[in-house]
Amino acid sequence: MSYSGPTELYIDGEWTSAEDKKTIETLDPATEEVYATVAKADEKDVEHAVSAAKRAVDRDSEWRQLAPGERAEYVREFSAALDSMRDEIVLTESHDNGKTPFEAQIDVETAINTFEYYAGWADKIEGETIPVPGDRLDYTRREPIGVTGHVVPWNYPFQLAGRSLAPALACGNSLVVKPSSTTPLTALYYAKAAEEADLPDGVINVIPGSGSDAGAALASHPDVDHIAFTGSTGVGKGVMESAADNITGITLELGGKGPNIVFEDADIEAAARGVHNGIFMNAGQMCWAGSRLLVHEDIHDEVLDLVATRAEQTPLGSGIDDDARMGPVVSESQRKEILEYIEIGKEEGGTLVTGGSIPSEKDRGYFVEPTVFTDVTNDMTIAREEIFGPVLSVITFEDEEEAIEIANDSPYGLLAGVWTSDLTRAHTVAEYLDYGMVSVNEYPVTFPQTPFGGYKESGYGREQGREAINEYTQVKNINVNLS
């Protein structure tokens, strides 16, 4: 199927080719064929986009002069415009990323809900009055930061872009978005929505381009006032360093190695469903994947059997297949890396229970079988490193204390799952886990209303919820001498 959506950069309210006329060819991972060709921004285009954004958020600009309620109305219209393109975006995402339409539909829905949620915030961003000594009035204002830069990965191209764009927009900033060059298409629908909702020029700019070129130029630009980066921990460290040169604020959403801890008193069927979902959704290409199953030794065989059977029954298929529940991984290089990890798992003594190969019935598309290893110890490579594919490592524990110890023995700390019917245990274990998010008896789950982010090397700052309002505004304190 051919692509007929937007293919140009969107800068200062205009669709334009890259200044050097460079382009990106993006593949459909299910067919391994070129799906679309889009303009490819480089440093010069970043310059244009940032200066347009800077003008758009100038103190006297139309955008900054809006009453908060009027800004809320813009965000609502923006959200409605996205909603009207929903089916087209789902189809595009499925072809560009490889995820099934079933999954893409959830992503698009979540993103639209996020804009609706933050539209509600736009006129509720309040300051405080502070009791100070003497005859004074002291208060704070929460003001927009200015230009926010958004660097987005390929695993949830539309949803993760929306997650940081929505609060940044609602807080009155102007935005420059750089999607991954592997999946550049759906971010351009945010530009289309900006056009439909008649946002002032320069408030949203979308510039597909490569990370090392356009991404690095955006992250190090002195006129960018906040960077929202979602991606790998390695690249995130580099973004943090370049932000330091300009004292630019950052939000980092990085990798994970999520433990799903299943206690002997859990609802085993529900846990097996959650564990399966937590590692095979999006073909395991999730920062918050539950890639380690920590299971009590007494129920290991039972849980493993349920999870492995589900894994074997997962319908694999492409973006045109409505029944598919797991698509291909995003690229050939990604698949190669996953298969290498599977070899390492075998070499280091993991027992392959199911999967481990390219499915024999798929002669096209970057498919990998849902894979489960058991007899894994937490020092093995497949238990420590983020594989970013459909590979589950099963580790047993003897008691609560050991479960917590194994779970916390990781450089990452994004999302952890706890499966138990004991209320006291649920809360106690949740408190002891060094994770930014803990979910009890379901996995994975998040909402626009709840803070998303990680401890340790999983990130810095928080997206979503009220927390993100703090990320995308800055505080001004005003003191008035009344005497």
Query: Which stretches of the chain bind ligand NAP, using CB under 6 A?
Result: 151-155, 160, 178, 180-182, 210-212, 215-216, 219, 230-232, 235, 238-239, 253-256, 287, 386, 388, 414, 459
In whole angstroms, how close is the CB of 209 to ligand NAP at the nearest point? Answer: 7
CB-nearest residue to ligand NAP: 211
Please state the closest distance from residue 54 (CB atom) to Mg ion, in A.
31
- Whose Cβ is closer to Mg ion: residue 40's or residue 226's? 40
| Binding partner of 419, given Mg ion, ligand NAP, none, CB within 5-8 angstroms per partner class | none
Our CB check for Mg ion shows the closer of 26 and 251 to be: 26
Closest approach of ligand NAP to the CB of residue 222, in Å: 15
Q: Which two tokens stand for residue 218?
A: 């955006």
| CA-atom Rg of the chain in angstroms | 23
List Cα–Cα distances, 347 to 104, 341, 368, 376, in angstroms.
35, 10, 19, 11
Residue 96, contacted partner among Mg ion, ligand NAP, none, CB below 5-8 A by kind: Mg ion
Residue type, 475: V
Site for Mg ion in 177-196 (CB under 5 A): 183
What is the distance between the alpha carbons of residues 286 and 108, in angstroms, rounded to a whole number? 16
Residue with tokens 């849980």: 303
Is 253 a catalytic site residue?
yes
Pick what 119 binds: Mg ion, ligand NAP, none; C-beta below 5 to 8 Å, kind-dependent.
Answer: none
Which of ligand NAP, Mg ion, none lies near 396, with the C-beta cut-off 5 to 8 A by kind?
A: none
**386 is in the binding site of which of Mg ion, ligand NAP, none (Cβ under 5 to 8 A by kind)?**
ligand NAP
Instruction: Report the partner that residue 26 touches, choosing among ligand NAP, Mg ion, none (CB closer than 5 to 8 A by kind).
Output: Mg ion
Residue 380, classed as helix, strand or coil, is coil
Residue 96 binds Mg ion, judged by CB under 5 A: yes
> Cβ closer to ligand NAP: 102 or 388?
388
| Contact yes or no for 291/258 (Cβ under 8 A) | yes
Q: Which residues pair with 15 in a beta bridge?
A: 10
Sheet (strand 371-374) strand order: 351-354, 371-374, 391-397, 292-296, 259-262, 415-419, 437-440
What token pair was written down for 219? Answer: 């992250």
Residues making up the chain, counted from first to last: 483
**Residue-by-residue DSSP string for 136-164:** EEEEEEEEE-SEEEEE--SSSHHHHHHHH
Q: Is 26 one of the binding residues for Mg ion (CB under 5 A)?
A: yes
Closer of 200 and 256 to ligand NAP (Cβ): 256
**Active-site hit among 103, 116, 253, 386:** 253
User: What is the total count of residues that contact Mg ion (CB under 5 A)?
Assistant: 4
Handedness of CA 454, 457, 463, 468 (dihedral sign): positive
CB nearer ligand NAP, residue 37 or residue 309: 37
The β-bridge relationship of strands 455-456 and 351-354 is: unpaired
Residue 177 or 203 with smaller CB distance to ligand NAP: 177
Amino acid identity, residue 30? Answer: A
Is the CB of 30 or the CB of 293 nearer to Mg ion? 30
State the minimum distance, in angstroms, from the CB of residue 440 to ligand NAP: 20
Q: Is residue 143 among the annotated active site residues?
A: no
Residue-wise DSSP of 164-221? HHHHHHHTT-EEEEE--TTS-STTHHHHHHHHHTTPPTTSEEE--B-IIIIIHHHHT-
Instruction: Compute the least distance from the CB of residue 364 to Mg ion, in Å.
Output: 15
Q: What's the min distance (Å) between Cβ of 417 and ligand NAP?
A: 16
Q: d(Cα 310, Cα 315) in Å, to the nearest integer?
A: 10
Positive or negative, the Cα torsion across 405, 407, 410, 415? negative
Region of 42-50, 90-98, 111-119, 356-364 interacting with Mg ion (CB under 5 A): 90-98
Smallest distance, Mg ion to C-beta of residue 454, A: 26
Which residues make up the interface to Mg ion (CB under 5 A)?
26-27, 96, 183
Positions marked active-site? 253, 287
